[in-house]
Amino acid sequence: MTAGTVVTCLLVLLGVALLVGPWILGTANRLDRLHVRTDAAWAALDAALARRAVVTRAVVASVRVNADVSDVLRGAADRAERAGRGDREAAENELSRLLGALDRAVLAPALAAELSDAEQRVVLARRVHNDAVRDTLTQRNRRVVRWLALAGTAGQPEYFEIAEPLEEGETAVLTPRPAARVVMVDGDDRVLLFQGFDPARPQESFWFTVGGGVEQGEELHEAAVREAFEETGVKLTAEDLVGPVWRRRTVFSFDGETFDADEWFFLARPPEFVVDTSGFDEVETRTVQRHRWWTAEELRATEDTVYPLQLAEVLPDLLADSWDGRTRAVR
């Protein structure tokens, strides 16, 4: 290679650096601003949740509230305030459920209005927070951000899933939803997940395991077998299922309805098959976008939202050891 060629190559590289460098710097700065925005949004949501707990204690102190109801509400508010980030959603959802069942007519008008205001501030703060998380995750998932590790050591933001209170005049009822779910694993220890969204919040997609609600009079194993066939085309039997290995209790909203979910997870290792989603119902057809097989390493690395949230953490142990008969709680 001649000296002239070397100089030309260096000049080309310098030109590329001058053109691309500012763009990369701008991308990194935008990501930094998004992380700052997400942190600020979480601080605002945390403050709104804390205020709701304070107002709940004011409700507890009201002489018009039944003593038994007061004790339950006080305990729920205290647990919500003390809960760590991993347990915060469940604790706040429990408080939401209890407040939703509270007879507001027994409260002084000013206190009822203050409670309603505190709840609506939580709703707004949660939406702002989740919007910030969505935008940050979108930026972090860009190829240039991943390839150049522009996110640095910043932690991955997470959506905060909490059921929203009912509108004025609606009946405060949570729909019980027992569910049977199947952790369907292939010969390479990959788990099958679907990606979908809530029609009320189509901008927030998430991944979830095979399975769904238990029908009236149906046993858990029967429901798991039926759901597996409807969603994947695989014909399992109750003997093909291990478990229930996990149980997840949560409150969530979907398409405007709020559910008190009790999810039971079974492990299944069917022979190799092609996923057939022709058995999807209308809602699944409308809201499920795609499916794919995930390794535990991919689950740990992804910045997508996956349910259960602890799947990457608990899946390896489930696959490595024979089931000991215990049903473990996951979130």
Query: Which tokens hold the place of 283?
Result: 């809602």
Bigger pLDDT: 288 vs 303: 288
Does residue 278 surpass a pLDDT of 50?
yes
List Cβ neighbours of 120 (8 Å cut-off, separation of 6 or more). Answer: 165
Model pTM? 0.64
Query: Which tokens hold the place of 191?
Result: 């788990």
SS3 assignment, position 150: coil
CA end-to-end span of the chain, whole Å?
A: 61
Share of the chain above pLDDT 70, in %: 85
- Domains of the chain with bracketed CATH: 3-147 (no CATH), 175-329 (3.90.79.10)
pLDDT at 227: 95
Return left, alpha or beta for 211; rule: phi > 0 is left, psi -120 to 50 is alpha, else beta.
left
The enclosing H or E element of 191 equals: strand 191-198
SS3 assignment, position 251: strand
What digits encode the pLDDT tens for the residues 305-326? 888 888 888 898 888 877 888 8
pLDDT band at 4 (very low <50, low <70, confident <90, very high): low
Give the lowest-confidence range in 3-12, 21-30, 267-276: 3-12
User: Rounded CA gap, 290 and 196, in Å?
Assistant: 7
What digits encode the pLDDT tens for the residues 26-83? 677 777 788 888 889 889 988 999 999 988 888 888 756 677 777 888 898 889 888 8
